[in-house]
């Protein structure tokens, strides 16, 4: 029997997002990336305020913590924006072959998985982050590469729009 570890969970998450990106291809996974960025920004900014409101109104249980509130906002908003974004994203052909679309989708899926994992690590308390990074080499690597997961997205958008303009 496989014992669940953080490395197994993180590896599985990255694998699922890569396969999802390959299956749905570039134009749909890019919608997920936009949704995840918006969800990350919103959950990071209003998570604490919503947590304070929940505590003030007495709605949460004693087990409700800031991580749970931020994670719920991130997951709910990311899923909702992805579903709604399907109506916005055009499924038009950008001239790439099916294989190229799948490879780019897989790379975008890796980026999406990294965003999800680094967001969840970011939502944890400082003590939980230190404990996770001490236990998991994958978490240590991803946390060290956090900037890599957050910076390339604007370049992907700019590069994609430049390619479309000069075709």
- Tens-digit pLDDT profile for residues 75-106: 999 888 888 876 554 544 454 567 777 787 88
pLDDT in tens, the chain (167 residues): 666 788 888 889 889 988 988 888 777 777 888 888 888 888 988 888 888 888 888 877 766 788 888 999 999 998 888 888 765 545 444 545 677 777 878 888 888 888 888 888 888 888 888 888 888 888 888 777 666 666 666 666 666 665 565 55
Task: Tell me what pLDDT residue 57 has.
Answer: 85
91: nearest Cα among 152, 34, 30: 30
58 in a structural domain: yes
Q: Which domain holds residue 118?
A: 13-88+95-165
113 in a structural domain: yes
54-72 core/surface letters (b: 16 or more CB in 10 A; e: else):
beeeeeeeeeeebbbbbbe
User: Rounded mean pLDDT of the chain?
Assistant: 78
125 in a structural domain: yes
The total number of structural domains in the chain stands at: 1
Give the distance, in angstroms, between the CA of residue 102 and the centroid of all CA atoms in the same chain. 19
6 in a structural domain: no
3 in a structural domain: no
65 in a structural domain: yes
3-class DSSP state for residue 167?
coil
117 in a structural domain: yes
pTM above 0.75, yes or no: no
Sign of CA dihedral 107, 116, 77, 17: positive
27 in a structural domain: yes
């Amino acid at each position: 029997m496989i014992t669940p570890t953080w490395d197994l969970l993180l590896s599985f998450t990255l694998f699922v997002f890569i396969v999802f990106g390959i299956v749905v291809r570039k134009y749909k996974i890019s919608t997920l990336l936009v949704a995840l960025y918006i969800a990350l920004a919103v959950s990071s900014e209003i998570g604490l305020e919503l947590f304070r409101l929940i505590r003030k109104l007495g709605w949460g249980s004693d087990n409700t913590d800031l991580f749970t509130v931020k994670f719920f906002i991130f997951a709910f908003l990311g899923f909702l924006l992805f579903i709604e974004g399907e109506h916005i994203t055009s499924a038009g052909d950008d001239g790439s072959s099916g294989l190229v679309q799948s490879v780019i989708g897989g790379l975008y899926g890796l980026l999406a998985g990294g965003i999800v994992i680094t967001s969840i690590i970011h939502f944890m308390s400082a003590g939980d982050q230190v404990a996770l990074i001490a236990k998991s080499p994958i978490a240590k690597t991803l946390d060290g590469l956090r900037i890599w997961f957050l910076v390339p997205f604007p370049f992907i958008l700019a590069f994609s729009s430049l390619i479309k303009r000069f075709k």
